[in-house]
Amino acid sequence: MDQKEQTSGHRQRLKEKFRRTAGEGLHDYELLELLLTYALPPRDVKPLAKELIARFDGLAGVLDATPEDLEKVKGIGTSPAVLIKLAKHLSEQYLADGMMSRDALSSPQSVLAFARTKMAGLPNEAFLCIYLNTKNEVLRYKTINQGTVDKAAVYPRRIIEEALNLHAAGLILVHNHPSGHCQPSPEDRQLTDSIVSVAKALDIRVLDHIIVGRAGHYSFAENKLI
């Protein structure tokens, strides 16, 4: 059996294993390897999958990597990079759809899962606002600003203006700490107080401010700071 036939047989076995188990029990490198088979010609891509996971510190790091950084890895061209980013975007959209169909207060985990998937791996700080109606259902989510590795300029006026345009009754604030540590800084607390104050004057509730990072999350509501 030549190398091409061996590779084809291995790929088919990997696909069948995934179909049979729905991915349960597969190593991260096997999942990534299977994804790469749809964008690369027949060859052994297991070493490449393992290299990507090692280089970006895990499967989450691979999915969070920029296309430019992915393409710096030998053997990864445009198509594999696009496919990896597509997989990440699809997971974000799946979680967003689940969040949109639920009461944010009764299903806080759906909001948290979306927030962590979308923002925890970003290289720079970003600030996102989730706008809610009177039933606490999500009307819209919007990234308000993106900044540097440790700071994002946020103006409460922009958040409130968008809330008024949407006739929103409530807000959930989300931002990330690229460092991975989720404890709020004094500036985070000050900004939260400012937004709460402006929103309250217009009868808009701020339900929570969630800080996400690779190490976990911090909820102002859970810690009784809102």
Q: What is the pLDDT of residues 42-56, one digit of tens each?
A: 888 999 999 999 999
Judge if 114 and 47 occupy the same domain: no
Residue 88 has pLDDT above 80, yes or no: yes
Which CATH number goes with the domain that contains 63? 1.10.150
Q: Look at residues 65, 91, 117 and tell me which one is the last residue of a structural domain.
A: 91
Judge if 146 and 188 occupy the same domain: yes
Judge if 32 and 78 occupy the same domain: yes
Judge if 59 and 132 occupy the same domain: no
Say how far apart CA 34 and CA 21 lie, in whole Å: 14
Which CATH number goes with the domain that contains 129? 3.40.140.10
CA nearest to 149, candidates 127, 126, 125? 125
Strand order in the sheet with 138-146: 138-146, 126-132, 170-176, 205-213, 216-219
Judge if 45 and 149 occupy the same domain: no
Burial code of 92-122, b = ≥16 C-beta within 10 A, e = fewer? Answer: eeebbeebbebebbeebebbbbbbbbbbbbb
pLDDT score of 207: 94
Handedness of CA 3, 8, 10, 11 (dihedral sign): positive
User: Which whole-number Å values give the CA distances from 54 to 14, 35, 72, 136, in the listed order?
Assistant: 21, 17, 14, 41
For residue 213, list its beta bridge partners. 216
Judge if 82 and 150 occupy the same domain: no
Judge if 120 and 61 occupy the same domain: no
Say how far apart CA 148 and CA 197 lie, in whole Å: 26
Q: Which is higher by pLDDT, 7 or 189?
A: 189
Q: Look at residues 44, 70, 91 and tell me which one is the last residue of a structural domain.
A: 91
User: Per the domain annotation, does 165 fall within a domain?
Assistant: yes
For residue 209, list its beta bridge partners. 173
Counting the structural domains of the chain, the total is 2
Judge if 109 and 83 occupy the same domain: no
User: Per the domain annotation, does 132 fall within a domain?
Assistant: yes
User: Per the domain annotation, does 183 fall within a domain?
Assistant: yes
Confidence of residue 214 (pLDDT cuts 50, 70, 90): confident
Say how far apart CA 220 and CA 189 lie, in whole Å: 9
Return the structure tokens found at 191.
């900004």
**Inter-residue contact 49 to 32 (CB < 8 Å):** yes
Helix, strand or coil for residue 138? strand
Judge if 110 and 16 occupy the same domain: no
User: Per the domain annotation, does 71 fall within a domain?
Assistant: yes
pLDDT score of 1: 44
Task: Express each pLDDT in 141-161 by its tens digit.
Answer: 998 876 544 555 678 888 999
On whether the pTM is more than 0.75, the answer is yes
Judge if 17 and 63 occupy the same domain: yes
pLDDT score of 157: 87
- Give residue 206's domain range: 104-219
pLDDT score of 100: 83
User: Per the domain annotation, does 96 fall within a domain?
Assistant: no
Judge if 130 and 42 occupy the same domain: no
Which residues make Cβ contacts (< 8 Å) with residue 114, sequence separation at least 6? 92, 95, 96, 98, 99, 141
